Amino acid sequence: MNETVIVFDVETTGLSPQKDQIIEIGAVKLALEEGLWKEIDAFESYAFASNVPAIVSSIHHITVEDLVNAPKLFEMERQFCEFIDICGTPLVAHNAKFDIAFIESAFSFEIPQEKRFCTLTLARALYPEQKNHKLQYLQYALNLPMPPSRAERVAAHTALADARLTSHLFRRIWKDSRASSLEDLKNFKATESLPDDTNSSGEIERMPWGKHKGRLFVDIPKDYFQWLLSQDWTSEHPDLMDAVRAFLKGPF
């Protein structure tokens, strides 16, 4: 039987899986055929929400008006769970910890570790020479497939478009890691001592989200941290803000 994976992306009303909500999911199903991953199916859906903060809309450009006629979250849940075969199929995402945390919180089931693949983590190991490992950066740095015109590329920031872009990155990682099975990729991940957002002491040292997602604190302009600390909504993320203050060596 051919191996398959689901590459997905979520858009949300905020950063907290416990307090915020998924408002869009995009996903593509890939099948391994004769050594090549081919897209065989796709999923895309909004979910209704009564409020989307302006700061969040400025990132993904989804507004309440876009969601007026969208299915309720529980309806999206049923459809998406069918698409991913309630996780019988491995899941792939860029910064998978974020997307999977929202899926697990919203849909109340746990995704086994062996079913998770993170292209951010793998890209950091495979391409350490890259200045950062944001999805949109790697799109250009690795010359991944993209829409031909600038207007199409600018308009392409949807969950499904990001899932497709992640699928292209996954294919590139597959090729460059010389994997021949998902088990090879999992073993590669396990043996490369791949970094996550924390150091060996469990302290956060990389931005887990936002415009500098995936970058080490030392590579981020300090005025960005000062801006973060001035925002009321960041108080909902005390561990990250404590790490930022410690990095800047003093409270603000």
d(CA 115, CA 3): 12
H-helix or E-strand spanning residue 7:
strand 4-12
**Which letter does DSSP use for residue 88 in this model?**
T
**Short-list 32, 238, 138, 63, CA closest to 246:** 238
60 is catalytic: no
| Cα-Cα end-to-end distance for the chain | 57
Strand order in the sheet with 91-93: 36-46, 22-33, 4-12, 91-93, 116-118
Catalytic residue among 157, 168, 212, 237: 157
Using the CB atoms, write b or e for 188-223: b if 16+ within 10 Å: bbeeeebbebeeeeeebebbbeeebbbbebeebeee
Distances (CA, A) of 219 to 92, 216, 223, 225, 247: 26, 5, 12, 11, 12
**Short-list 151, 157, 171, CA closest to 9:** 157
d(CA 141, CA 29): 25
46: three-class secondary structure by DSSP: strand
d(CA 134, CA 98): 14
Distances (CA, A) of 91 to 85, 98, 230: 11, 13, 36
Residues with catalytic function:
157
